[in-house]
Amino acid sequence: PYFSTKKEGMGLGLTLVKKTIDDLWGTINIESELGKGTKVNIKLPCTGRD
């Protein structure tokens, strides 16, 4: 955390996303390829309603 290439912001975006996904028992996978872009895959469990 606390890393940013921008003048504004604290670099907490992905840290907060990861915490939220963990709290929801999910997973996140990030793949980045220079010159091509970044792919983010988020999986969250689905539960039925009673």
The maximal CA–CA distance of the chain, rounded, in angstroms, is 48
Specify the pLDDT at position 26. Answer: 96
**For 1-50, what is each residue's pLDDT tens digit?**
566 777 777 667 888 999 999 999 999 999 999 999 999 999 999 976 66
Parse the chain into domains and list their residue ranges.
Answer: 1-50
pLDDT for 15 equals 86
At residue 2, φ and ψ (nearest 5 deg) are 65, 35
